[in-house]
Homo-oligomer: A and B are copies of this chain.
Amino acid sequence: MATDYTYEYFNVTFPAEYVAQVEINRPEKMNAFIEIMWLNLSTIFRRLSHDPNIRSILLTSAGDRAFTAGLDVQAASQGILSRDSADPARAAIAIRRHLAEFQDCITDVENCEKPVIAVLHSIAFGLAIDLSSACDIRISTADTKFCVKEVDIGLAADVGTLSRLPHAVGNQSWVKEVCLSARIFGSEEAQRVGFVSGVYKDKAEAVAEGLKIASRIASKSPVATVGTKELLNYSRGRPVADGLKYTQAWNSAMIQTQDVKDAVLSGIQKRSPKFSNL
């Protein structure tokens, strides 16, 4: 099956039943992103979203040196920065189209129906924060260095960090401080403020733990986990009443699933339920 997911700069494997692992694979450049990479990332997550065999996804990076050092600035320089328009409005429209496409690719990770667990290690700078903020669960290694790097290249982060962090972390003073200063912070701090929910000794252990979480989620009814992800994402940043109303519409269909009966019966019979694919 792996052949189906062959895209440049990514390894997609299936380390456990119903679990896919997407590995960013450009280690020689510290997994820095060039345009083809976010396009491929999008394609992979859009396909995994509807892949009936997949119920949860692990996002990791190849090599020891970095989860990702962020945008490949050198490559980007030859794109946006070299863009030369006599007219700032026409340049703005071109930039907006480019940003919209880039944002959409990262948002495809968030919109992927199946829960995504990001395992960060070593260097997690710039796009690493944008990308992992679009994942559901974030864990890291003890030595991970994080940085909302964008102000250091004269930019406000624009592919998601500034829109998702104020919802993800409940300490706006800290969020502002790290976003405005581009200060590097470590895993202990990241865990304390709630950006990551687990820190592990090294990459091997963190990936193993990520896989454990992914496997546990994959063992549940996919109707339940897909709905849980959707309803949590919907409710974030909206009044509670809106979340409740959407939940009514959503669950009016989903609660009819055979999985409820199977799960309840399995619970009574003290055995693991088997759920059909989605």
Instruction: Give the distance in Å from the alpha carbon of A39 to the alpha carbon of B273 in the complex.
Output: 32
Given contacts A87-B258, A154-B260, 18 further A-B contacts (CB under 8 A): A73-B267, A88-B88, A92-B252, A92-B256, A99-B255, A115-B180, A154-B221, A158-B251, A163-B243, A166-B236, A167-B235, A169-B171, A177-B197, A180-B225, A193-B194, A237-B237, A237-B240, A237-B242
Are A164's CB and B252's CB within 8 A?
no
* Complex-state Cα separation, A162 to B230, whole angstroms: 9
Beta-carbon contact of A240 and B151 below 8 Å: no
Q: Judging by beta carbons under 8 Å apart, are A243 and B177 in contact?
A: no
A17, CB-defined interface residue at 8 Å:
no
| Chain B residues, Cβ within 8 Å of A230 | 156
Give A241 Cβ to nearest chain B Cβ, in Å: 7
Tell me whether A247 is interfacial, beta carbon within 8 Å.
yes
Please state if A156 and B227 are interface contacts (CB–CB under 8 Å). yes
Given known A-B contacts A167-B166, A243-B163, A176 and B258 have beta carbons under 8 A apart: no
The quantity of this chain's copies bound in the complex is 6
**Are the CB atoms of A81 and B264 closer together than 8 Å?**
yes
Q: In whole Å, how far is A240's beta carbon from the nearest beta carbon of chain B? A: 5
Return chain B residues, CB-CB under 8 Å to A251: 95, 99, 155-156, 158
Docked Cα-Cα span, A176 to B61, in Å, equals 22
Q: Assuming A154-B264, A264-B73, is B238 touching A176 (CB within 8 A)?
A: no
Q: Contacts A87-B276, A216-B183 hold; do A93 and B252 have CB atoms under 8 A apart?
A: yes
How far is it, in angstroms, between the C-alpha of A136 and the C-alpha of B267 when the chains are bound? 33
Q: Which residues of B contact A15 (CB under 8 A)?
A: none
Docked-complex contact B236 and A90, CB < 8 angstroms: no
Does A196 interact with chain B (Cβ within 8 Å)? yes
Q: Given A103-B248, A162-B228, A193-B194, are A260 and B155 neighbors across the interface (CB < 8 Å)?
A: yes
Q: Can you list 14 A-B contacts (CB < 8 A)?
A: A80-B255, A89-B259, A96-B252, A136-B180, A154-B261, A156-B250, A157-B228, A166-B235, A167-B236, A171-B197, A181-B216, A193-B194, A237-B242, A249-B249
